[in-house]
Amino acid sequence: MDNTPFLSARFDKFIARLPAPYRYGRAPYLVFFVSIIIALLVLDMLITPYPNTVGVTFALALLLAFFFFLVYWGVPLAPIIHMGTAASAAMLCYVAWHAGGVFFPRLAWLMILPLTPFYVISRGAGYFWLCVVWLLQLGMAAANYWGWLPPFHHELHHATSTWVTISAVTGTLIIVPMIYDRLHEQAVQKGMRYQRELELKRQELEQILQMREHFIATISHELRTPMNAILGFNDLLMARVQDKPEALKVLNHTRQSADHLMTVINDILDYSQLQAGQLVVHSETFELRKITGYAFELFRPKVKSMAVDYKIELDEALPKWVHTDRHRLMQVLVNLLGNALKFTHQGEVVLRVQWENPGVLFSVTDTGIGIAPERRDQIFKRFSQADIGIHSRYGGNGLGLAISQKLAHLLGGDIGFESELGQGSRFWFRLPLQAAEAPQHTPDAQSPALQTGDQVWRFLIVDDHPINRLLVKKVLQNGWPQCEILEAAEGQQALQMLRDTPVDLVLMDMVMPVMDGIAATRCLRETFAATVKDLPVLGLTANVNPVDLEVFRQAGLSDLMLKPFEPAQLCAKVEQCLLTAKKSSQGS
Ligand code: ADP
């Protein structure tokens, strides 16, 4: 249905009530105009003082009524309108000719004739009929002046002024809708221009978001890759200098600084991903006490040099196994404990974990500097610290609590705090945890004892960074002293090696030149012979983008490990892959 803006609700109702053939396109306008004209013609027949014009008026009314049938039969509107306008003009001129010419009051009807073609057919048709009407009015005025029509003997100025008046009114009648039409078109064009601009802005924004995601992924990879080497080699060195306290102290400093840098990198990346809604929960079943204990113990070395009583209180009623994202839970705990220790110079810091049946309440209470009431609203906002002096005295980026809050919500829980300036604070978060079934097998990433340690394995390390290959090699040689190690700098080279030499496990980096780890793993799984294609492939990557990681997993990884990793964790994963592969080969 034609819903031009000037249509009133009433006109819409009128259209809705019309029979189907009159309801669409411009037909309703025709019906509207013609109905009014027929009604006026009938009225005119009843009240006209010129009986000799009744026959013509009646003929015109019949002709117009006949147009309804033409529309019903599907004749196009344009010829019908032209015919109707021509017939009306002829009838009006005929009547005027017999009743005073240009002075005949009903000649005024001639003025509105161009309106129907203007609205129903096109603007051009309207202007055409406007010219015709002007000519007819001029002709009628001339006929009056030359005395062909009654009343005879007119002065030139009588005929001219009457003609000018009705011509001007006719022009005005058509100019008004023309101006309206033009304004309407301008408004529509303006609207369309805004819409185009808006669309461009939207596309620009989308592009910026994509660039941002790409930037974060690249930065993540570029920052984590060297951190992997720094932390990994540091750990290897620490294991070697256990008997040299001075060297150990220096390496501890390096480790702490590197850990700090890792926290900052992770905070920024996490926050960006949380903002983009990309962070997903990886739930698993784990021992609640153990994970809470790990988070608590992480700060033990730091607390040794502090005058702070560092305590943990675990509710007896806590369930042994729970099911949620272990890493994210650790992250929130570590952040709250880290803050409490950072802002407490004396007194105590206590981690309490209480069973609320259902749900678990974690709280970290400290006797530190506290937070002023007017700053409490700001604390969970990103890049927000309690006051300007905090940064210069304690450092920090103001992201930790913003991330913790988002993570707590992501895990289905809530977070909050109470604090008194100079007295201390209590930060808490509540998770809707329930007692879970114990898992079938519980790989222990921290366990250093390797069942497969005394066997001869052949590993293939695929990574474009020689330092990373060296680190993985050292870690593997520590865990499996008799192992043989092959190295490839990219996917194609690795696939060639796998064709030539039997291997027990592949450690595959994700981002590499020539052929990346995703394509190489897919190729191995899809095109290699049965004995080789089921090889365990452990993905290693510094990319933390969940979408990329999922693509890597889908390519056919046996397991995935994020860089930087603890040497013990890498060994545990490798062993797990080896044992699973062994079991499945025995089974088949
Ligand atoms: P950061 O610690 O890196 O500055 P956070 O988001 O973790 O960032 O904390 C934001 C601010 O909240 C801190 O700068 C500090 O002012 C305040 N704050 C957080 N925890 C405590 C606490 N336990 N005691 C006092 N102030 C705290």
Sign of the CA dihedral running 11, 16, 21, 25? positive
| Protein residue with its CA nearest to atom 7 in ligand 1 | 400
Q: For the chain, give the percent of residues with pLDDT over 70.
A: 91
Residue 445's pLDDT band, with cuts at 50, 70 and 90, is: very low
Which residue, 394, 395, 386, 368, is CA-closest to 307?
Answer: 368
Atom of ligand 1 nearest to the CA of 370: 25
Q: Is the CB of 337 under 6 A from ligand 1?
A: no
Q: What is the mean pLDDT of the chain?
A: 84
Q: What is the pLDDT of residues 336-377, one digit of tens each?
A: 999 999 999 999 999 999 999 889 999 999 999 999 888 888
Say which residues have a Cβ less than 8 Å from residue 429's Cβ, sequence separation at least 6.
332, 336, 361, 362, 363, 404, 408, 413, 414, 415, 416
Residue 267's pLDDT band, with cuts at 50, 70 and 90, is: confident
Look at residue 425 and tell me whether its pLDDT is greater than 70: yes
Look at residue 89 and tell me whether its pLDDT is greater than 70: yes
Identify the burial level of 468 via C-beta atoms within 10 angstroms of its C-beta, where 0-12 means exposed, 13-18 middle and 19 or more buried: buried
Instruction: Delineate the domains of the chain, giving CATH numbers in brackets.
Output: 18-198 (no CATH), 241-431 (3.30.565.10), 458-587 (3.40.50.2300)
Instruction: State in Å: Cα 386 to ligand 1 middle.
Output: 7
Atom of ligand 1 nearest to the CA of 398: 8
Please state the pTM of the whole predicted model: 0.52
pLDDT at 391: 64
Q: Is the CB of 401 under 6 A from ligand 1?
A: yes
Say which residues have a Cβ less than 8 Å from residue 209's Cβ, sequence separation at least 6.
276
Q: Which among 333, 379, 419, 429 is the best mutation to test ligand 1's pocket, defined by most ligand atoms within 8 Å of the CB?
A: 379
DSSP state of 438: P
Look at residue 238 and tell me whether its pLDDT is greater than 90: no
Look at residue 395 and tell me whether its pLDDT is greater than 70: no
The type of residue at 309 is D
Which residue, 296, 303, 376, 379, is CA-closest to 341?
Answer: 303
Q: Is the CB of 349 under 6 A from ligand 1?
A: no
DSSP state of 59: H
Instruction: State in Å: Cα 220 to ligand 1 middle.
Output: 25
Instruction: State in Å: Cα 320 to ligand 1 middle.
Output: 31
Look at residue 269 and tell me whether its pLDDT is greater than 80: no
Q: What is the pLDDT of residues 510-547, one digit of tens each?
A: 888 899 999 999 999 998 888 888 899 999 988 777 77
φ/ψ of residue 487, rounded to 5: -130, 140
Q: Is the CB of 386 under 6 A from ligand 1?
A: yes
| Protein residue with its CA nearest to atom 11 in ligand 1 | 385
Q: What is the pLDDT of residues 98-122, one digit of tens each?
A: 777 777 777 777 888 888 888 878 8
- Helices and strands per DSSP (H, E), number in the chain: 20, 12
Question: How far apart, in whole angstroms, are the C-alpha atoms of residue 287 and residue 320?
Answer: 6
Contact 575, 451 (CB under 8 A): yes
